[in-house]
Amino acid sequence: MCSVGNNNSTYRIGVDGGGTKTELILVDEQGKVVARQVAPGCNPNAVGPDQARAVLLTALGEIHRGTVTHTHLYMAGAPAFWRELAAELQDFGTVHTADDSLPVLELATGGQPGIVLHGGTGSFVAARGPDGSVHYAGGLGWRFGDPGSGYDLGRRAIAQGLLELQGWSPATRLGPIVRSHGELGNDADAAALTRHFYQGDEPNKRIAALAPAVLHLASEGDPTARQLVLESAKGLLDLAIHVATRLFVATPLDAIPAGLSGPILTHPAVLSALASRSPLPLTPVTDAPILGVQRLLQRIP
């Protein structure tokens, strides 16, 4: 953590709270970042409300300095939970809560109307309409699909690999990768691997962890991996097109600013798969979400 100025200074705190990590910044009156803090994930849907609360409060206590005039919490999962927690905070100035999609939307559109598709462990579509209203679509969680996410990509790869190991699909490079990911040895059959993936701790994270290997295969031109990547990402693209069509009635799709955010959607294999199939002008967002938090803090009057 960086040191900050004298106690007469005023500061703002911004938080990007996700399922994988919680990142905080402290900015001064000029909007410059003077301290950073990284903590474990705090999505209450994933770690439980008690752990989510403990993670955030500990991290806020560690980064707090001087007089804090504003605190913005951009958090994943359970908006009502975060609003209730925010109402309890003392000495953190005016506390504002919003979804964690807002910082990446800010990076994609610069506060202007447009849309962003995000694919990490999970996925979502966020948009700012022509009237400035903010909208959120998808992000239903790993149990219900999240197309274009690491989980969905891993799920599709495991399903294909298991069918190959059963002998019902032609062997590809996916079968050995799925078997290796299961860590049960080279003799493990499809039934043993299926039990392993169902019964292991945190199955969503275990399954999503396979995504980098699938993306690597796709980038090498493996046709099965490329098809899986396309099918997964196209589901999120279809949702984004539906949202854009509903919100931007008078605007051609190819004139709507559209960003791709997160390690899945900005991977070259995914960009290549979507480029020729999207009516939206997709542009990769390469900055980290915490930079979007910083920009939102700078917008405070």
Residues 92 and 106 reside in one and the same domain: no
Model confidence at 69, pLDDT cuts 50, 70, 90, reads very high
φ and ψ of 110, to 5 deg: 60, 35
Model confidence at 295, pLDDT cuts 50, 70, 90, reads very high
Residues 90 and 205 reside in one and the same domain: no
Residue-wise over 26-62: b if at least 16 C-beta within 10 A, else e? Answer: bbbeeeebbbebebebbbbebbeeeebbebbeebbee
Residue position matching structure tokens 């891993």: 154
Q: Please report, for the domain that includes residue 15, its CATH number.
A: 3.30.420.40
Predicted local distance difference test score (pLDDT) of residue 141: 80
pLDDT in tens, 111-169: 999 999 999 888 999 999 999 999 999 988 888 879 999 999 999 999 999 999 999 99
Category of 260 on φ-ψ map: left (φ > 0), alpha (ψ -120 to 50) or beta: beta
Helix (H, G, I), strand (E, B) or coil at 205: helix
Q: Give the number of domains in the chain.
A: 2
Residues 164 and 56 reside in one and the same domain: no
E strand map for 256-299: 258-261, 282-284
Record the tokens describing residue 215, joined without a space. Answer: 């993306």
Amino acid at 262: G
- Taking all residues of the chain, what is their mean pLDDT, rounded to a whole number? 91
